[in-house]
Amino acid sequence: MQYGENIRTYKRVKSSMVISNDRDGDGAKIVAKSIVFFCVAILVSRVIMINKSAPFGIAFLLTILFLEDNKLSLFVGLGSILGYITTIGVVENSLMYITIVPTLVIICLILNSFIKRNIKKFVIIGATLIMIFAYTMLVNQYTLLLALGNTALEGVSIIPVYLILEYSINSFKNIRTKHLFSNEEIVSMSILIALIIAGTWGIEVFNISILSVLSIAVVSIIGYVCGTSIGATAGIAMGVIVGMSSQNIFGYATVLGVCALISGIFREGGKLISSLASFIVFCIMKIYIATYIPEGISQFILAEGILSTALFIVIPNGIYETISGELDVEKKSKRYEEGYANKVKGIFTDRLDKFSEVLLNMAGTLNNLADNDKLDMSTKSSGLIENLANRVCNSCDTCGICWGREMINTYKAFGELLESAQNKTNIFPQLLEKKCIRKASLIRNTEDIINKFIISEMWRSRLAEGRELIANQFNNMAKSVDEIMEEFSEDFNEDKDSEKKIMRILEKYDIEADDVFAIKDKNERLNIQITCNSCNGRNLCIKKILPLINDCVDYKMKLKADGCKINPMTNKCTAMFEEVPKFGVTTSVSRACKDGQTIFGDNFNFGEGYDGSYMMVISDGMGSGPQAGRESKAVVELIEKFTSAGFSRTTAINTVNSIMSLKFSEDEKFSTVDLSAIDLYSGEVDFMKVGAVASIVKSGDTIDIIKSRSLPIGILDEADIEIHSKKVKNGDLIVMLTDGVTDCDEESSGKIDWILDYLCRNDNVSPEELSKGIINEAKRIGKNKVKDDMTVMVSRVHTA
């Protein structure tokens, strides 16, 4: 640091910038909101009823006043005044409305400070009615009875409209929230939109009414987004409101209602079809009005229908999807249900992540303890020397000489003596030979200390090795948990369309289903789960439900391999259906036990997996007999359990490797893993080998050999998995073996040429005959001696 430099004081620059940006953003939102309500107030105030009155602006102003937002009230009041000014000469009592608006704003601003909201409502509504009565009496000079009637008529117009607009504005506030809109709320919002559109009366461009174009386009959009029922209702409501301003209620109500209805009917065909259908109906209705209601022909022209259809088409699909996602209860609830499911998934993922961190921390702690044991070796020699000196030299008369003036030489000589005893060289140091008067005691105690030290170090070494081994397994388990998290985070898409179709067809055939759940997995394959009353073994899920499902979905389905599951508590049956795969597999296994043994050291398993695959696995326990059998059986069972639980095959093998690596005796054996998984939908095959012998794939006249050079499971900290991928088709053969088959004879040890020859000579026989034939051929080559357990698994792929 240099003296004299000007150092600036500490300031929270970023924090102030964030606060400033937030304030700027809030200010922009307030300005935008005020401008929107100002424009809405102008348009709503211009809406005219049949009796030449315009109470809608007053009703909208009351709605905003009761929100207790003073700034917004001022903008709405100013907009209402401007709107009513444009109606001078059209509305009979426009000056009355212009007078009422500022008066209500002033009264409301005064009352906001000391009167409760509910009381303020009655006061302001009462003041409104009083001003209407006073105006009609004083300005219009109506009689008392006529003034009361006019006031009652205005009140009957203002109060219901105020309630509708309040309901509508509250509904608009629920946009972008978790609120699910009811049909009434959607219709109320469409009424406010209709009032805004109705306020555009009198605005024309080249004799084209903006009111007609916007009203037709909006009702068509509502019908397209919300469906026929809401669309038709909103269309009629908008037709009535817009028709009041144009003095043609029946014409507008009919045209807009029918256009919205047709748009909703053809919504499944897409935006183009729906808009064209709505335009065709508009043309038909225009011809009808021109023919039977001549006075209404001026209300619609063909160009207005063309422009409204073009406006409907040019609006991007993304906007329609956004509106539909907000107003459609089913879509919105599904979105938030997915969000809830993702939150729950996130909670469990975080817990798994923390568990993985705990495992890693435990592994790190154990590794640190092992490292500490290694560091302690540097201090152990001084401890041994001190122990030996305390035993022999404390009571010696020459202790002061040896450990006083000649301490360095004595310390060095004691170290040489301990090293000699540890190495069994039995050399007594020359320095001690000359001056030590307790040689015999020194040698005896040295041997005792070294023997105890060696025993202690043996146990310490085993403990350190155990810590390192367990630490490595914790690391592997943490990696497995990370893989589980990745798989758990995969998304599944619910197929609502298929659920609706299945529910409808089940109801049609009087099959009561409590629940229908359809999802598409990560491979975009349809899976269906149906819960209904138990059929008590009559197989209704196959005989009745499955054919109905195949009739209404786009895929051919089948019952999953694990069939139905019945809950004994509720007597409900849950059936799982999946897409019928493209391929099927037929597998046969033949075995031969080692001479002199009755228990196989090899184990195997095969069958369909949860993910539409067909898995075949062989494990060869090192050696033979019960112990090798237990090892290989544990490997096969664990892999089968992990994969059926939804874990990937790589995760399953790595996890099993971690478990099998925890060996605490030298007699425990290792095992190989030979796993093949066929994707029954695509024909892709993954061969995963850990210390296994070669596998054979025969496709027509082509033979592929899948070799491996990896070590068996349980030897390394992480399984040495070799993965090979192939693609099979109808009629292909997959042959998997153990080393007892390839090592059946000393001359042909490890060779599979004779197996290839046998397969070529017996191409068209069944998998069962092939597996038995290979075992018999191996026995023949080995001169009927079985030196090791033999297992042959033959699988043939065929079209499903």
Q: State the pLDDT at residue 411.
A: 85
Using the 8-state DSSP alphabet, how is residue 437 labeled?
Answer: S
Q: Are 271 and 317 in contact (CB under 8 A)?
A: yes
Residues contacting residue 68 through CB under 8 Å, at least 6 positions apart: 112, 117
Reported as a pLDDT band with limits 50, 70 and 90, residue 1 is: very low
| Mean per-residue pLDDT, 89-104 | 87
For domain 493-579, give its CATH number from 3.10.20, 3.40.50, 2.70.40, 3.30.980.
3.30.980
Q: Which residue in this structure is represented by tokens 């049609």? A: 508
Using the 8-state DSSP alphabet, how is residue 297 labeled?
Answer: G
Q: Are 605 and 617 in contact (CB under 8 A)?
A: yes
The amino acid present at 660, given as its one-letter code, is: M
Q: State the pLDDT at residue 296.
A: 47
pLDDT tens column, 617-626? 999 988 778 8
Q: How far apart are CA 415 and CA 385, in angstroms?
A: 7
Q: How far apart are CA 519 and CA 577, in angstroms?
A: 11
Sheet strands (E) in 621-748: 673-679, 684-690, 695-699, 702-706, 722-727, 733-737
Q: How far apart are CA 602 and CA 634, in angstroms?
A: 11
Half-sphere exposure (Cβ direction) of 96: Cα atoms closer than 13 Å: 24
Q: How far apart are CA 484 and CA 154, in angstroms?
A: 69
Q: How far apart are CA 46 and CA 49, in angstroms?
A: 10
Q: How far apart are CA 737 and CA 758, in angstroms?
A: 14
Strand ranges across the sheet with 790-799: 583-592, 790-799, 733-737, 695-699, 702-706
**SS3 state of residue 531:** strand
Reported as a pLDDT band with limits 50, 70 and 90, residue 22 is: low
Q: State the pLDDT at residue 344.
A: 73
pLDDT tens column, 41-96? 999 999 888 777 888 989 999 888 887 667 788 888 999 999 999 888 888 888 88
| Mean per-residue pLDDT, 737-746 | 86
| Mean per-residue pLDDT, 140-168 | 87
The amino acid present at 54, given as its one-letter code, is: A
CA-to-CA dists, residue 750 to 406, 586, 686, 707, 735, angstroms: 69, 27, 23, 11, 15
Q: How far apart are CA 593 and CA 602, in angstroms?
A: 9
Q: Are 73 and 93 in contact (CB under 8 A)?
A: no
| Mean per-residue pLDDT, 478-486 | 74
The amino acid present at 35, given as its one-letter code, is: I
Q: How far apart are CA 219 and CA 767, in angstroms?
A: 67
CA-to-CA dists, residue 101 to 1, 18, 41, 115, 150, angstroms: 69, 40, 11, 20, 18
Q: State the pLDDT at residue 310.
A: 92
Q: How far apart are CA 664 and CA 702, in angstroms?
A: 47
Q: How far apart are CA 481 and CA 598, in angstroms?
A: 39
Q: State the pLDDT at residue 70.
A: 72
| Mean per-residue pLDDT, 233-262 | 85
Same fold, 21-173 and 177-327: yes
| Mean per-residue pLDDT, 228-234 | 88
Q: Which CATH number does 583-799 carry?
A: 3.60.40.10
The amino acid present at 258, given as its one-letter code, is: V
Q: Are 748 and 786 in contact (CB under 8 A)?
A: no
Report the 10 Å Cβ neighbour count for 144: 10
Higher pLDDT, 204 or 645: 204
The mean-pLDDT minimum among 328-332, 462-466, 501-505 falls in: 462-466
Question: What are the domain boundaries of the chain?
Answer: 21-173, 177-327, 347-488, 493-579, 583-799
Total residue length of the chain: 800
Q: How far apart are CA 769 and CA 518, in angstroms?
A: 42
**Residue 689 predicted with pLDDT over 60:** yes
Q: State the pLDDT at residue 3.
A: 42
Q: How far apart are CA 672 and CA 779, in angstroms?
A: 23
**SS3 state of residue 707:** coil
* Radius of gyration for the chain, computed over Cα atoms and rounded to the nearest angstrom: 44
Q: How far apart are CA 795 and CA 216, in angstroms?
A: 66
CA-to-CA dists, residue 634 to 9, 480, 660, 780, angstroms: 69, 18, 9, 32
pTM assigned to the model: 0.56
CATH architecture classification, 21-173: Orthogonal Bundle (1.10)
Q: State the pLDDT at residue 737.
A: 93
Q: How far apart are CA 787 and CA 597, in angstroms?
A: 10
Report the 10 Å Cβ neighbour count for 755: 22
Q: State the pLDDT at residue 25.
A: 59
**Residue 631 predicted with pLDDT over 50:** yes
Alpha helices in 523-624 (DSSP H): 540, 546-552
CA-to-CA dists, residue 257 to 299, 318, 539, angstroms: 16, 25, 50
Q: State the pLDDT at residue 589.
A: 95
Reported as a pLDDT band with limits 50, 70 and 90, residue 396 is: confident
Residues contacting residue 278 through CB under 8 Å, at least 6 positions apart: 216, 220, 223, 259, 260, 262, 263, 266, 309, 312
The amino acid present at 70, given as its one-letter code, is: N
CA angle 607, 612, 616 (to 5 degrees): 30
Using the 8-state DSSP alphabet, how is residue 200 labeled?
Answer: T
First to last CA, the chain: 81
* Of residues 779, 728, 465, 420, the one with CA closest to residue 593: 779
Residues of the chain above pLDDT 90, percent: 18
Half-sphere exposure (Cβ direction) of 122: Cα atoms closer than 13 Å: 4
Q: How far apart are CA 642 and CA 644, in angstroms?
A: 6
Q: How far apart are CA 620 and CA 689, in angstroms?
A: 12
Q: State the pLDDT at residue 660.
A: 76
Report the 10 Å Cβ neighbour count for 688: 24
Mean pLDDT of the chain: 83
**Residue 26 predicted with pLDDT over 90:** no
pLDDT tens column, 791-800? 999 999 998 7
Reported as a pLDDT band with limits 50, 70 and 90, residue 696 is: very high
Whether domain 177-327 has CATH 1.10.287: the reply is: no
Residues contacting residue 92 through CB under 8 Å, at least 6 positions apart: 52, 53
Phi and psi, residue 673, nearest 5°: -130, 125
Phi and psi, residue 351, nearest 5°: -65, -40
| Mean per-residue pLDDT, 114-140 | 83
Report the 10 Å Cβ neighbour count for 481: 20
Q: Are 254 and 239 in contact (CB under 8 A)?
A: yes
Q: State the pLDDT at residue 375.
A: 46
Reported as a pLDDT band with limits 50, 70 and 90, residue 678 is: very high
> What is the residue-wise DSSP string for 443-495?
HHHHHHHHHHHHHHHHHHHHHHHHHHHHHHHHHHHHHHHHHHHHHHT---EE-
